[in-house]
Amino acid sequence: MPLRFARRLGLADAVTVANAAVGFLAVVAATVDVALAARLVLLAAVADGLDGVVARHRGSTPAGPYLDSLADVASFGVAPAFLVAAVVRDGRSFATDPVLVGAGVGAGALFVAAAVARLGLYTVDEDGARETVGVPTTLAATVLAAAVIAGYTAPLLLVGATTAFALLMGSTVTYPDLHAQDALVMGVVQAAVILTPAGHMATGALPAWIGEGFAFALLFLSFGYLLLGPRFYWGDGIRAPPGLRR
């Protein structure tokens, strides 16, 4: 029996739906291996960039923007929030430190709520625009995942970062879209972080530190865009808001 939506969705939509499935896998993986879960979040980020490329070259459907936001809720809302809660729960026991563990769960819940609100407003107000208001959910998820892989797993640090990102997603700070060449660089570094464990299994020639090295590079690029993007990244046909124009 053919699926009802098989004729109505395009190739880009299929990539978007796969992104949501990867988000679910990240949640499951977080119960077993937080580093694997973090890499799956980054894989979802790569898929999120790929569906845009496919849409530009193969066309999109009217359902595309809605599917994209729904998938992003799973991959960049629920998955990173659960990842942080799992790391906090691994590091602290609810019996001995109920306040911090509860804060981890609460920060994750706040992060998911902020992601849902931001993505819903993006679909209504900003789809097709070359800038976005508030920290992008993909960026917040990328930073949290890269931090876990790089070894920044102190529960208090992750709880604070998750709470901060939830608030920043609801801020009025405007971010320009990444230029194509910069998005490609970000995707290559994300792919390197994802594939490093496979490289270590395939050959012993890779230094043990190389995986964390790529994670640190990803953190550097992400934080650079997070902190400097709203003020200095405008260009390539993207006009800054009036208050930032010289």
Angle value at C-alpha 68, between 13 and 103, nearest 5 degrees? 140
Residue 1 has pLDDT above 50, yes or no: no
pLDDT of 246 higher than 60: no
Residue 239 has pLDDT above 80, yes or no: no
225, part of any domain: no
Q: Give a yes or no: residue 179 inside a domain.
A: no
Asked whether residue 169 is assigned to any structural domain, the reply reads yes
* Percent of the chain predicted with pLDDT > 70: 86
Q: Mean per-residue pLDDT for 93-105?
A: 83
**Tokens at residue 121, please?**
């407003």
What confidence tens digit (pLDDT) does each residue in 198-217 have? 877 777 667 766 767 889 99
Is there a domain that residue 183 lies in?
A: no
Q: What is the mean pLDDT of residues 78-88?
A: 96
Are 107 and 167 within 8 A, CB to CB? no
CB count in 10 Å sphere of residue 163: 19
DSSP assignment, residue 74? I
Closest CA to 83 of 136, 146, 139, 171: 146
Range of the domain at 28: 11-173
Does residue 133 form part of some domain?
yes
**Predicted structure pTM score:** 0.89
Contacts of 142 (CB under 8 A, 6+ apart): 41, 42, 45, 190, 218, 222
29 in a domain, yes or no? yes
pLDDT digits 0-9 by tens, 155-200: 999 999 999 999 999 999 999 888 888 888 999 999 999 988 887 7
Domain assignment present for residue 240? The answer is: no
For 104-117, letters b (16+ CB in 10 Å) and e give bbebbebbbebbbe
Is residue 83 over pLDDT 90?
Answer: yes
What amino acid occupies position 38? Answer: A
CATH of the domain at 74: 1.20.120.1760
CB 111 within 8 A of CB 80: yes
What is the per-residue pLDDT for 180? 82
DSSP bridge pairs for 176: 131
Task: Look up tokens 């001995």; give the residue.
Answer: 96
Q: Work out how many domains the chain is built from and give that number.
A: 1
Asked if residue 52 belongs to a domain, the reply is yes
As a whole number of angstroms, the distance between CA 216 and CA 151 comes to 10
